[in-house]
């Protein structure tokens, strides 16, 4: 949580950190990833058989190492829009028997060479947890139940035995399952009305939890600030003992998903756009409370959090999905990603999971070539946050000037502030981390820091020569620099930079 006090641009800013004011736990799953059968994310991304960089499973080892470096705790799969016509049975068993199928989200042919067992094996190699999305387009409840049984059951039953026949004796225990993806979208195969979706999601949730009460189900929301969100939350976040084995602490729906992409060719609009996501989280969290109050959900039932399972900088006109959505990220985009991550830290009390869309090649910080990987500008803030901004959110106040121009979307203005210094703070094992994004692309800010203790402050920064620079195979324009600060006097946050300061209490 952070509070903001606006001061004139020519006054000296100050930041006050209070390490004793611990607000809420930062879930490790805030640093989740997403791999969809789209563009070069799976084929040529995580799976590239025949490439010298791939292991005996066809998994790219440089990509695996990058996931490990980022400490990605959970990965969403197989879509995205792709899932609306995906039949998981096509992707299991001997590869020579798997049928190629027309793919209707991104208009291609899905070979089904990579499917459930390959993905789950890849997760085990990476050391990450899978998060599956169910087909609410052309899929059936029977098929969804079959998939959960295949992955999680240790019974002597059909799909559990099919898994054994396919070479996997013990269950995979996939915990997270999404009840469809963007079912509200006109681009979606099998688009639903909110009324039809809520009815279907609720009935599927009941059946899925009867089969496996250990799973967590994620409701398909929209942006978090829409009437779709309000309706499906109200209809599905209830107190219903059916399907829960009489438990008074469990619920059919465990999290509510929202998706937002931000982007603007104008740097100030680009860097402030993630503030819309912050307001969306607050609004959706409020809607969850309304549903719990009006539906009489007892406090013993764990409060449903937000699963922000698609977020990033993406302009689909600049990088169309049908062409693989290979965005080239600038320093401006890296700062926008840093503001996105600050949003999740500030709002940690409401965030159960967040998965960046996506993790390889498609709108991704990580790109593959045949010869290796390229870390885009957006990789660096993600790496620093995943490394340092864990543990618990602590209170911080920033006094600074504010960007007061137009925003994208326009409604940000009037709904939430857009300070030049965007901050969040965390404490983990007695070490305080303060993340400061100076979004101003022309001004350094000499800042008074209050609450910093110790003379040995680590300084980790992401910056570049100007906000338009990008990283390529041959040149890394944006990266991390490390230094020390003695904690004395004022600290200068350079123009267009992310700085993480760290000190021991």
Catalytic residues: 182, 310
Among 235, 310, 333, 422, which residue interacts with ligand AHR (rule: CB under 6 A)? 310
Q: Does 149 bind ligand AHR (CB under 6 A)?
A: no
Q: How far is the CB of 321 from ligand AHR (least distance, A)?
A: 6
Q: How far is the CB of 105 from ligand AHR (least distance, A)?
A: 6
Of the candidates 35, 60, 37, the residue with the CA atom closest to the CA atom of residue 369: 60
Residue number with CB closer to ligand AHR (306 or 449) = 306
Q: How far is the CB of 244 from ligand AHR (least distance, A)?
A: 29
Among 357, 384, 421, 470, which residue interacts with ligand AHR (rule: CB under 6 A)? 357
Q: Count CA atoms within 13 Å of residue 359 on its CB side.
A: 35
Q: How far is the CB of 38 from ligand AHR (least distance, A)?
A: 6
Q: Does 181 bind ligand AHR (CB under 6 A)?
A: yes
Q: Which residues contact 219 (CB under 8 A, 6 or more apart)?
A: 179, 201, 232, 233, 236, 237, 253, 255, 256, 257
| Segment interacting with ligand AHR (CB under 6 A) among 8-16, 74-82, 338-346, 391-399 | 74-82
Q: Does 438 bind ligand AHR (CB under 6 A)?
A: no
Q: How far is the CB of 132 from ligand AHR (least distance, A)?
A: 14
Of the candidates 307, 315, 209, the residue with the CA atom closest to the CA atom of residue 269: 315
Residue number with CB closer to ligand AHR (182 or 216) = 182
Of the candidates 416, 358, 353, the residue with the CA atom closest to the CA atom of residue 221: 353
| 3-class DSSP assignment, residue 198 | helix
Q: Does 81 bind ligand AHR (CB under 6 A)?
A: yes
Residue number with CB closer to ligand AHR (286 or 409) = 409
Residue number with CB closer to ligand AHR (150 or 228) = 228
Length of the chain: 505
Among 118, 129, 149, 182, which residue interacts with ligand AHR (rule: CB under 6 A)? 182
Q: How far is the CB of 78 from ligand AHR (least distance, A)?
A: 10
Residue number with CB closer to ligand AHR (358 or 361) = 358
Q: How far is the CB of 36 from ligand AHR (least distance, A)?
A: 5
Tally of CB atoms within 10 A around 421: 23
Distance separating alpha carbons of residues 126 and 147, to the nearest angstrom: 22
Residue number with CB closer to ligand AHR (45 or 243) = 45
- CA-CA-CA-CA torsion for 289, 427, 396, 423, nearest 10 degrees? -90
Q: DSSP assignment, residue 374? A: E
Of the candidates 285, 327, 355, 256, the residue with the CA atom closest to the CA atom of residue 27: 355
| 3-class DSSP assignment, residue 239 | coil
Of the candidates 439, 378, 362, the residue with the CA atom closest to the CA atom of residue 80: 362
Q: Does 358 bind ligand AHR (CB under 6 A)?
A: yes
| Segment interacting with ligand AHR (CB under 6 A) among 77-85, 189-197, 295-303, 377-385 | 77-85
List Cα–Cα distances, 217 to 22, 46, 214, 254, 476, in angstroms. 29, 26, 10, 5, 41
Residues 27-46 that bind ligand AHR (CB under 6 A): 36
Q: Which residues contact 80 (CB under 8 A, 6 or more apart)?
A: 34, 36, 37, 38, 105, 133, 181, 310, 357, 358
Distance separating alpha carbons of residues 349 and 305, to the nearest angstrom: 8
Q: Does 79 bind ligand AHR (CB under 6 A)?
A: yes
| Segment interacting with ligand AHR (CB under 6 A) among 49-57, 75-83, 140-148, 479-487 | 75-83
Q: Does 80 bind ligand AHR (CB under 6 A)?
A: yes
- Contacts with ligand AHR by CB under 6 A lie at 36, 79-81, 181-182, 310, 321, 357-358
């Amino acid at each position: 949580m952070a509070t903001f006090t606006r001061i004139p641009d020519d006054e000296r800013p100050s930041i006050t950190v209070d390490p004793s004011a611990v607000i809420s736990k930062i879930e490790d799953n805030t640093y989740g990833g997403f791999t969809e059968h789209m563009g070069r994310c799976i084929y040529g991304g995580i799976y590239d058989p025949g490439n010298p960089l791939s292991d005996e499973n066809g998994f790219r080892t440089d990509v695996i190492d990058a996931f490990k470096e980022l400490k990605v705790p959970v990965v969403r799969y197989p879509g995205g829009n792709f899932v609306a016509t995906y039949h998981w049975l096509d992707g299991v068993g001997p590869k020579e028997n798997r049928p190629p199928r027309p793919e209707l989200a991104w208009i291609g042919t899905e070979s089904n060479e990579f499917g459930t067992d390959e993905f789950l094996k890849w997760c085990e190699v990476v050391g990450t947890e899978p998060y599956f999305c169910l087909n609410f387009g052309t899929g059936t409840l029977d098929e969804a139940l079959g998939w959960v049984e295949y992955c999680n059951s240790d019974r002597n039953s059909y799909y559990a035995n099919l898994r054994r026949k396919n070479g996997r004796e013990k269950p995979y225990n996939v915990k997270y399952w999404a009840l469809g993806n963007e079912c509200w979208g006109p681009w979606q195969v099998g688009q639903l009305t909110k009324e039809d979706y809520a009815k279907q999601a609720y009935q599927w949730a009941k059946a899925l939890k009867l089969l496996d009460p250990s799973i967590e189900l994620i409701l398909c929301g929209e942006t978090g600030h829409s009437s779709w969100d309000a309706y499906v939350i109200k209809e599905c976040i209830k107190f219903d003992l059916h399907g829960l084995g009489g438990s008074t602490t469990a619920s059919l729906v465990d999290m509510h998903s929202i998706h937002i992409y931000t982007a603007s060719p104008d740097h100030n609009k680009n860097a402030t756009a993630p503030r819309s996501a912050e307001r969306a989280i607050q609004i959706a969290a409020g809607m969850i409370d309304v549903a719990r109050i009006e539906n009489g959900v007892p406090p013993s039932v764990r409060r449903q959090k937000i699963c922000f399972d698609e977020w990033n900088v993406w302009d689909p006109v600049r990088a169309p999905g049908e062409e693989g959505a290979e965005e080239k990220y600038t320093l401006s985009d890296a700062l926008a990603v840093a503001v996105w991550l600050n949003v999740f830290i500030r709002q940690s009390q409401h965030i159960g999971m967040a998965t960046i869309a996506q993790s390889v090649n498609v709108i991704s910080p990580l790109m593959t070539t045949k010869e290796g990987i390229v870390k885009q500008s957006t990789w660096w803030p993600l790496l620093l946050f995943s490394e340092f901004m864990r543990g618990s959110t602590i209170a911080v106040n920033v006094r600074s000037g504010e960007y007061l121009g137009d925003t994208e979307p326009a409604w940000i203005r009037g709904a939430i502030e857009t300070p030049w210094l965007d901050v969040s703070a965390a404490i983990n094992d007695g070490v305080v981390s303060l993340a400061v994004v100076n979004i101003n692309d022309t001004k350094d800010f000499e800042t008074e820091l209050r609450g910093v203790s110790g003379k040995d402050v680590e300084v980790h920064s992401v910056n570049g020569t100007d906000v338009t620079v990008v990283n390529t195979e041959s040149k890394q324009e944006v990266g991390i620099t490390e230094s020390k600060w003695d904690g004395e006097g004022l600290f200068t946050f350079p123009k267009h930079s992310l700085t993480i300061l760290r000190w021991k209490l």
